Structure 1
Amino acid sequence: MQRNTLSFLPVVFAIAAGVLVPDSVSFAVTPATKPASQKKPAAEAPASAPPAGQTAVAGGAPTLPAKAWLLMDFDSGELLASANPDEALPPASLTKMMTSFLVEQALRSGKLKKDDLVSVSQNAWCRGSSTESCMYLPLNGQATVIDILRGIIIQSGNDASKAIAEHMAGSEEGFAKLMNAEAKRLGMTHTNFVNATGLPDPEHKSSARDLANLARAIVRDSSDYYPIYAEREFKYNGIKQGNRNALLYTDPSVDGLKTGHTQEAGYCLVTSSKRNGMRLITVILNTTSMKARADETRTLLGWGFANFEKATPIQPDAVVTSAKVSFGKADTVAAGLGSPWSLTVPRGQQVRTTVQVKPDLEAPVAKGTVIGKVIAESNGKPVGETPLVAQADVERSGWLRRMWQHVLKWFGK
């Protein structure tokens, strides 16, 4: 959330250095009203023993110095590797993923329009200090919703986040209630939002798993706006600032999502990457530097794509089993998958499936009705499941046939 100012440096220099600018740095030559001095970086905390990671891969997970981290399969939401995934920690500007997600959902539903004007109150306005990230919206001015959204995602603007919170809910406090309601809907059980920015508050917490699930929701449900998370720069109010996710400049498979930093939260990064049809999400919380969060994410993604692969246990058009139906014109119905099913599993491990059909299935049964499930196991552990659905209609039999079927059922036939 801290902000220093800096003249724009070529991207090639940033890549050669191994990192880009910190969360607190602007890419632009700043106006005269902005302070020219730079704040000295805070000293890093003494290193402690890194948490032990958990994974199903033989040989174990990578060792990362972050306080909490994880690798998640996007399609299933399964954790492929993690350390302290459910510890509630300060999320810093990763908070703004929820802020932007609520804006995106309001745009999808029509509650907001991209060209709607958002006013900038005294409370929302950034005063040009070196202590917070700003989009540099003009005091008592207005900006469009789509510019505000870009300011939140790309520039990590506290002013943009506060302004849209007040626009949508009347106050930042009211917006926090919307954030927590959405967090509950998404199953973010270790999260409590107090503000729209991630500025420090003892009650403002989230976990690596919760933030990964939020990232998954953004990728899945905000397809019209998700490309903004991959944009490398945005110019507003004469100031051009760059996206602070260093991997966007060095890894073409990375297309989001968000960085964060405060003294309490350390350096944080949530990233999504897609290679060869497989998308992975990583979360790094409370590591020691900008370079560390980028390097640890590169390590985790490289390890993940090297150690996991997509598996298709059952083809979509396959008949999985034949389910018995009582009191129908047909005694059985073919059962198969309702939609294509794939899993992410450790490379080289076989996947086995078992089928569970609902007992005492009675007609009528409509095509597409869920009548059971298929469970997949790898290396003796469950790795996923999918619904089993009827592949045809089964009408209820006439009363005479039903009487005979009752008699047969009474005698266990």
Structure 2
Amino acid sequence: MKVRPRLAALALAALATAAVGFAIAQTPAPQPATALSDALPVPPPPKITGTAWVLMDYATGQVLAGENIDARVEPASITKVMTSYVIAAEMKAGKIKPTDPVMMSEHAWREGGAGTEGSYSGFEVNQTAPLVEMEKGMVVQSGNDAAIALAEHVAGSEDAFASLMNAYAARIGMKASHFVNPHGLSEENHYTTARDLALLGRALVRDFPEAYSYNKIKEYTVGPITQRNRNLLLWRDPSVDGIKTGHHSGAGYCLMASGKRGDQRLISVVMGSTSESQRAVDSQALLNWGFRFYETHRLYEASKAIAKQKVWKGQAEEVQLGVAEPMLVSTPRGKYARLKPSMDVPKTLIAPIKQGQKIGTVKVSLDGKVIAQRPLIALNAVEEGGFFKRLWDEFWMWWEAP
């Protein structure tokens, strides 16, 4: 016994009263949508011809299916998606403008122009064009010359631009990629993975929708030359609005595609395919499979309380907990009601607590596997209580200690 009998009785009475307002974080439970009863398992994804491929849900970043997703591959002209991202980011930072005159230098023309084996835009050598027009020539026509000219304008040289590419790639979370040029022609130490490319496509859609919109342009004219976008899915599937093709002997035929049906967007990446037609067929099959068998759910809204936790020594008795950004999850269709949320929070919280302070983690599991987790934050600040409040809580913390 820690206290004398009379004090113990008083303490127990007070504890019974205090327990009414005591609230260890309550486990949130998403409201189930209409679900299929005993839904059948998701069938395997379509067989894909290629060295590596992945299908990713845009909203959550979850990988729905894939093979060799972390294997090193050559990105070929899909590299230009990274180039577009850098240009958009530097424009947002105020360093360049869409109206900037971009020079098609002799170097850009010789290394990536009509005299080479790669794709070219058709802009005249030693002439300028507005940056936004040069970028469309790079995106739609896959112009290597335009990519070089843009890199020189943004950073002074291809090498300096490649440094920017790698810096932004790291910020996006592309952990297994390294770029040495803005166009994607084969070079040593120029590599990526299917997973990283899906993350890149997701980042471009999310961060720079205007720049992303150039990818759905079906054809583009420079001077007397009109060239078609090589992404065949733009003609076959109205839900597809990007993203980029790639091809050279070392990389094979590649395609990063994205489509949106209703509120759901998916991103597919097929690397090392055998032909222009095959990469399109496989990408279409992946998107169709994903849209048919998976759905995206919004579990918790940002900055809305999903739990509360007792706070000791504070002016308030509890703190509300929530997530900083909406929490979404992708599930096989018909399995939404089987999601199991749980929370990992400290048993004891002591004031002061700052608004936005990380308190714990909310996790969502499906069939015993964690499929999503986010930090829990304090939605309100709790200031430190007065002297007697702190003293009183100190006593109760001591009393309840094991």
Q: What TM-score, normalized to structure 2?
A: 0.84
Q: Relative CO higher for 1 or 2, CA cutoff 8 Å, sep ≥ 6?
A: 2
In the alignment, the residues of structure 2 paired with residue 391 and residue 127 of structure 1 have an alpha-carbon distance, to the nearest angstrom, of 56
Query: Which residue number in structure 1 is paired with residue 67 of structure 2?
Result: 83
Instruction: Specify whether residues 337 and 194 from structure 1 end up closer, same or farther in structure 2 by C-alpha distance, changes over 3 A only.
Output: closer
Query: Which residue number in structure 1 is paired with residue 148 of structure 2?
Result: 162
Instruction: Specify whether residues 282 and 403 from structure 1 end up closer, same or farther in structure 2 by C-alpha distance, changes over 3 A only.
Output: same
Matched, 1:107 2:91: yes
Query: Which residue number in structure 2 is paired with residue 135 of structure 1?
Result: 121
Query: Which residue number in structure 1 is paired with residue 5 of structure 2?
Result: none
* Counterpart among 307, 311, 324 of residue 297 in structure 2: 311
In the alignment, the residues of structure 2 paired with residue 356 and residue 312 of structure 1 have an alpha-carbon distance, to the nearest angstrom, of 20
- Map 1:292-331 onto structure 2 (within 5 A): 292-314=278-300, 319-331=305-317
Moved more, 383-392 or 401-410: 383-392
Tell me, yes or no, if the aligned pair for 1:57 and 1:307 is still in contact at 8 Å.
Answer: no
Instruction: Specify whether residues 337 and 102 from structure 1 end up closer, same or farther in structure 2 by C-alpha distance, changes over 3 A only.
Output: closer
In the alignment, the residues of structure 2 paired with residue 112 and residue 194 of structure 1 have an alpha-carbon distance, to the nearest angstrom, of 22
Query: Which residue number in structure 2 is paired with residue 149 of structure 1?
Result: 135
* Counterpart among 256, 259, 264 of residue 273 in structure 1: 259
Structure 1 residue 187, shift from structure 2 partner? 2.1
In the alignment, the residues of structure 2 paired with residue 338 and residue 105 of structure 1 have an alpha-carbon distance, to the nearest angstrom, of 24
Instruction: Specify whether residues 315 and 151 from structure 1 end up closer, same or farther in structure 2 by C-alpha distance, changes over 3 A only.
Output: closer
Tell me, yes or no, if the aligned pair for 1:313 and 1:352 is still in contact at 8 Å.
Answer: no
In the alignment, the residues of structure 1 paired with residue 171 and residue 298 of structure 2 have an alpha-carbon distance, to the nearest angstrom, of 30
Query: Which residue number in structure 1 is paired with residue 375 of structure 2?
Result: 387
Q: Where do 5+ consecutive residues of structure 1 fail to align?
A: 1-55
What percentage of aligned pairs have identical amino acids? 40
In the alignment, the residues of structure 2 paired with residue 316 and residue 177 of structure 1 have an alpha-carbon distance, to the nearest angstrom, of 35
Tell me, yes or no, if the aligned pair for 2:88 and 2:211 is still in contact at 8 Å.
Answer: yes
* Counterpart among 355, 360, 363 of residue 348 in structure 2: 360
* Counterpart among 208, 232, 243 of residue 246 in structure 1: 232
Structure 1 residue 57, shift from structure 2 partner? 5.7
In the alignment, the residues of structure 2 paired with residue 244 and residue 219 of structure 1 have an alpha-carbon distance, to the nearest angstrom, of 19
Query: Which residue number in structure 1 is paired with residue 48 of structure 2?
Result: 64
Matched, 1:372 2:356: no
Q: Where do 5+ consecutive residues of structure 2 fail to align?
A: 1-39
Moved more, 146-155 or 380-389: 380-389
Q: What TM-score, normalized to structure 1?
A: 0.82
Q: How many residues align?
A: 358
In the alignment, the residues of structure 2 paired with residue 132 and residue 318 of structure 1 have an alpha-carbon distance, to the nearest angstrom, of 52
In the alignment, the residues of structure 1 paired with residue 123 and residue 235 of structure 2 have an alpha-carbon distance, to the nearest angstrom, of 26
Tell me, yes or no, if the aligned pair for 1:73 and 1:344 is still in contact at 8 Å.
Answer: yes
Moved more, 258-267 or 103-112: 103-112
Equivalent residue of 2:176, what SS? coil
Matched, 1:237 2:210: no
Structure 1 residue 354, shift from structure 2 partner? 0.3
Decide which structure has the larger Cα Rg and report it.
Answer: 2
Structure 1 residue 197, shift from structure 2 partner? 0.8
Tell me, yes or no, if the aligned pair for 2:162 and 2:182 is still in contact at 8 Å.
Answer: yes
Tell me, yes or no, if the aligned pair for 2:84 and 2:211 is still in contact at 8 Å.
Answer: no
Equivalent residue of 1:403, what SS? helix
Equivalent residue of 1:77, what SS? coil
Moved more, 384-393 or 82-91: 384-393
In the alignment, the residues of structure 2 paired with residue 112 and residue 331 of structure 1 have an alpha-carbon distance, to the nearest angstrom, of 52
Moved more, 76-85 or 358-367: 358-367
Matched, 1:214 2:200: yes
Instruction: Specify whether residues 408 and 195 from structure 1 end up closer, same or farther in structure 2 by C-alpha distance, changes over 3 A only.
Output: same
Over residues 302-327 of structure 1, what are the superposed CA-to-partner deviations in whole Å (9 max), with x where a residue is unaligned?
10011101234446687433212111
Query: Which residue number in structure 1 is paired with residue 328 of structure 2?
Result: 342
Moved more, 301-310 or 57-66: 57-66
Tell me, yes or no, if the aligned pair for 1:313 and 1:376 is still in contact at 8 Å.
Answer: no
Name the aligned partner's letter for residue 176 of structure 2: H
In the alignment, the residues of structure 2 paired with residue 284 and residue 348 of structure 1 have an alpha-carbon distance, to the nearest angstrom, of 28
Name the aligned partner's letter for residue 360 of structure 1: T
